[in-house]
Amino acid sequence: MINKGYLLGDRYKIIDTLGEGGMANVYLAEDIILQRKVAVKILRLDLQKEPQTVARFQREALATSELSHPNIVMVLDVGTDQGLPYMVMEYVDGPDLKDYILENSPLDLHDIIHIMDQILSAMILAHKHNVIHRDLKPQNILMDKRGNIKIADFGIAVALNHNSITQTNSALGSVHYMSPEQTRGGLVTKQSDIYSLGIILYELITGSVPFNGDSAVAVALKHAQEAIPSIKEKDPQVPQALENVVLKATAKDPRDRYNSAREMQADLETSLDPARVNEPVFVAKHGGSDDETIILPNFKATRKAKTPEQKVEEQIQEKEEQDQPRKRNFLQALTMHKWWWLFIGLAAVLVVFLLFFVVTNNGRGEIGIPDVTNLSEERARQKIENVGLRVGQIKHRNSTSIARGKVIRTSPPAGQRIKKGRYIDVYVSDGMGLVRVPDVTGDPYEQAVRRLERMGFDVIRENEFSDSVLANHVVSQSIAADVEVKPSKTTITLSVSKGKDDYDRHPNVKLPNFKNRPLKEAQTFAHKHGLILEVNPTYSKNVKKGLIISMSPASGTEILQNSTVVVSVSEGQRSERDSTVIKTFTITYDDDDDDDSANKRGNHVQIYISDDDHSLNNIYRDLYIKRDVNFSIPFTLKNGAGELRVVRDGQTILNEKVNK
């Protein structure tokens, strides 16, 4: 163990312990140079002299450092401290996927596909680099506070171009997620990872793994021999197309599985489409894996390949042979002391009878289930246990009437009488789920705001002139009516009428010279004279940060009110260490759309960015435009390049890399 406060590599100050493993311990640390939190994995002191363990640790660092992807935990630094190898990774402040499933199951199917899409995207890159993870499981998948997935622990990953990828002495990884060929010590391929991905998808949908057992061997045999339990029997609402993704990914024979993670991703993304609603159940074409030798611990290696059942039977026979002398001694002792054993047997029967009598009599009383609606989970638990009942599963549901974190109902319901000691399932509210955006166009602005804020939306106001809409009434809204969204994560911009644009009552405005003046002056002038100010941040060696470099139209120009003035504002001189890149671009307005209803709102624009703080999987900006609009978006690029994607009315019009 490393003590808190220790400065590792003269740079990383240990703050706390995050986890302890068989090979390494993980610590939360602070990078005192960049002043950020990082996760540091340090090889255990007692293992630093074991060459195989050191090699595995180095292999993880090498495999992960070669994979630059927003859904893979990034390796920031590798080094040694007093001979002890360590690896510095980005710190993911959030739960692992196992804990997330336990806390939030059952999950919404769209959320499940969003999570799996990120995992598959990461594995597409890993497999492209010929890296097989071999230990994919929810415990190795982290989730940050924004819901972004990060795959970790490539400690037992292998590269396809290495000399050997067949393990002949042990089974690695978690047996609950391992493919049949892995448990048999067979050839490990990309399809082995795909099998694990199928099991993870099964657990996301159902909340549990498909197979459990008393030992690793028992679970491995089930993976090799038993069909995956039906998801639709557990939840008939799950589409057959989605279950088929699980069935194909977890086929016993690798030839029946998806050829690639990309193929699985494409199938998963359309699994909720109405066109696939009548899809038949997936049926594999081949039998089980051809590999026969099981290498799991407690399974003896044999020269001649045997089936799992033969091996288990052989172990039982050996155990019986070893027990024969004991059985003979036991029979002799029983004969010598038969009266003593008879007395003990009668006493045991009497004790069992008394216990049965006590238990059955205590259970006869029935108890009414208390009403715990609108109580907190903890208060509901206390109330249920106080009357002699037990809390079973905690299930989460969306509710429009019960606040988040409060109890919606119980199962069985309140008032029903059941025996003492029985389990009661409790349903807890997750708050509102997806709700339909109302149509507030034409409504008075104050009325529209009250309505949207009551539903949980954030509202932004933008003003514009209108010949058809009364002043202070809503002209348009940034998200169309009837679109289903989560209010707590959605901001709606309302364009509000300023009335008719009567130029006779509003004379032209003459622009002063804003060059080398503070941005605040231009903002004050624009607000006073009804102008639209568009600001483009720009790096400059000559103009001090915060001052205006240039303007368009030029100073002295007379323009009408409601016109747009574009100013470039200095961000100062860009240094080599500066991680912020400002990308400026223009989205043109397309007025060729024949749909009149669409024209009323304008073009629907969605902007996606990828940098150190954002993922392309999430929308960065969602809005409607009725004219050409310039955008200046800052990208944080401490590590690698970013990406910009712009979608207008459902079609991608811009997709390009952003570099430092």
**Catalytic site residues?**
135
Residue 515: partners with Cβ closer than 8 Å, 6 or more residues away:
548, 549, 550, 551, 555
Label each residue of 564-598 as H, E or C: EEEEEEECCCCCCCCCEEEEEEEECCCCCCCCHHH
Angle, CA of 485, 491 and 497, to the nearest 5°: 115
Phi and psi (nearest 5°) for 395? -115, 140
Q: Are residues 642 and 655 in contact, defined by beta-carbon separation less than 8 angstroms?
A: no
Token pair of 107 as six digits = 């999950």
Nearest to 107, CA basis, from 230, 242, 223, 248: 242
β partners of residue 139: none
DSSP class per residue in 473-508? BEEEESS-TT-EE-GGG-EEEEEEE-----TTTS--
Could you tell me which residues come within 8 angstroms of residue 134 by beta carbon, excluding any fewer than 6 positions away? 156, 157, 158, 172, 173, 182, 188, 192, 193
Residue 514 and residue 538: Cα distance in Å, rounded? 16
| HEC string for 313-338 | HHHHHHHHHHHHHHHHHHHHHHHHCH
**Residue linked to tokens 């994607």:** 645
- 484 CA to centre of own chain: 21
Cβ atoms of 255 and 146 within 8 Å: the answer is no
In terms of Cβ atoms closer than 10 Å to its own Cβ (0-12, 13-18, 19+), residue 139 is middle
Tokens standing for 456? 């949980």
Torsion of CA 134, 137, 140, 146, to 10 degrees: 130
Amino acid making up residue 88: V
Question: What would the 3-class secondary structure string for 582-643 be?
Answer: EEEEEECCCCCCCCHHHHHHCEEEEEEEECCCCCCCCCCEEEEECCCEEEEEEEECCCCCEE
CA distances in angstroms from 367 to 372, 378, 386, 641, 643, listed in the order given? 15, 20, 11, 64, 61
Token pair listed for 190: 């990309």
Bridge-based pairing of strands 423-429 and 407-411 is: antiparallel
Phi then psi dihedrals of residue 251, to 5 deg: -60, 145
Residue 274 to residue 277: CA distance in whole angstroms: 5
Contact status, residue 15 vs residue 29, Cβ threshold 8 Å: yes
Q: 388 with 367: CB under 8 angstroms? A: yes
